[in-house]
Amino acid sequence: MMLPILMKHRYKIMKALSLALLAAFLAVGCTTETQEKSTSDASKKPSHTKEKLPNIHTDKSCKMAFTYSQELNNEEEDLHILGKSFFRIPWVEAPSATTARDGLGPLFSANTCMHCHPGNGAGVPTDKNGKITRSLVMRLSIPTIKNLNNGLLMKDGFTPEPTYGGQFSLNGTSDTPYEGNIEITYRPVAGKYDDGEIYELQRPSYKLTDLQYGPLHKEVNIAPRIGLALIGLGALEMIDEKDILANEDIGDQNRDGISGKANWVYKPETNATALGRFTWKAAAATVKHQSANAAHNDMGLSNPLFPKHNCTEKQTECLEALKGRHNFDLPMERLDAITYYLQTLKIPSQRKTENFEKGKKIFTQIGCVQCHVSTFQTQNGYEIHPYSDLLLHDMGEDLSDGHTMFKASGSEFRTPPLWGVGLYEKVSGYTALLHDGRARSVEEAILWHGGEAKRAQEDFKALSRQERSYLVEFVKGI
């Protein structure tokens, strides 16, 4: 019965995602799997003016573990629920009696989106027992031959490893061998604040073992990734392109040490180049683009934007594996539903503590706001505070993963939004920050900053212990 329902709403999806309708969404209370959302009285709907816009932020009375799952009230509640089900309920190997969710693999890392984004939050590289989680993935690439007319380079932004492809898969279906395993070791890195206080960071190193398809390319680059928190994606998508580009300063023309750069990426929906906004390297232009890419790489689900399975020419079992009953494992109607679900998640409300404003002042004084831009106005009139410019910045050699994507170099990353970062532990189990989750706290994440952010990191180290605590308190309250 799922497919007729989706077809019925196909036109409504497009309508619902228009700016006008998204601006008309109403605020709702906390929603969880055990709490029912209260219905709103249509006669009491607020006027949709710029001065009196409905609330798009979370209800702070909601249990913290569910705070990333609150939704905007909208005319397509059934579509939101449908997208939520495809996002949360596990997919299975094809063929199966579960025709709505068969088609997993043949190679995959996780069988549900929730494995990479627990509670819609950020992923963690290992659990509390040190076991690798399904949230950690390894991106694989090899050096690109200059002046080579490479179709994959144009569409993927990099050259995949020839045997294992662009992402390492830890699992395979019954007729397809998995690709291998991941080993992580952490080495302590000692440091000292200017006031003499000692701190200790952890530097990760990675090894791919138990390789099932032969050796890796001799020049392979292995880049670790954990999933990002999925809050506020719809709002970020609705920032006007010109407002993002206004903060670009390629070559640091103003000589302030910061040279934000936009990533221009392949957009499969239009078969054209577009501004990248999502992922660690700003390599996806839209929420749909990122959702389709994750479905393809993480779960092996073919879809209209990534129509082939994630097999390489050297993986015979993968190429010959049984297929699902549909043209695509994830048809457009279901991809649209997942996209809609992610676009209609609320933004965490700021949690202002006693020292919030003191920390905010320090955050500004030491230059963090040069990359973590506090405020944008969306195209439909909302003021949002993501604390990100959505641009690429050089973070230095200590954080470099060597993985280039379109215009992003190995040491360049998109500034991650900071909203809700203080809730990561409640939502995901514990705090794991930066692209590989090496930072166990906001403080550690700051101390790893290098490159363009080196001056701000040094200024942070020069603060008094109390001032540092104010700044961290502010960041955790954003």
Per-residue pLDDT tens over the stretch 71-130: 887 668 899 999 999 999 999 998 877 778 899 999 999 999 999 999 999 999 999 888
Alpha carbon dihedral 453, 458, 462, 464, in 10-degree steps, equals: 40
Q: Which of 267, 246, 452 is nearest to 367 (CA)?
A: 452
Q: Angle at Cα 28 formed by Cα 26 and Cα 30, nearest 5°? A: 155
pLDDT of residue 125: 96
pLDDT tens across 158-199, in order?
999 999 999 999 999 999 999 999 999 999 999 999 999 999
Place of tokens 């890392």: 109
Predicted confidence at residue 54, as pLDDT, reads 62
The CA radius of gyration of the chain, in Å to the nearest whole number, is 22
- Token pair listed for 53: 């816009």
Confidence at residue 67, expressed as pLDDT on a 0 to 100 scale: 81
Q: Which parts of the chain have pLDDT scores under 70? A: 1-54, 61-65, 74-75, 145-153
Q: pLDDT at position 31, please?
A: 42
**Whole-Å CA distances, 340 to 65, 84, 121, 170, 365:** 22, 9, 17, 29, 38
Q: Which long-range contacts (CB under 8 A, 24 or more apart) does 34-39 make?
A: 35/66, 37/71, 37/73
State both tokens at 424.
Answer: 């990561």
- Is the pTM higher than 0.85? The answer reads yes
Closest CA to 325 of 169, 113, 101: 101
Q: Is 267 helix (H, G, I), strand (E, B) or coil?
A: strand
pLDDT at 45 (0 to 100): 36
Mapped onto helix, strand or coil, the DSSP state of residue 329 is coil
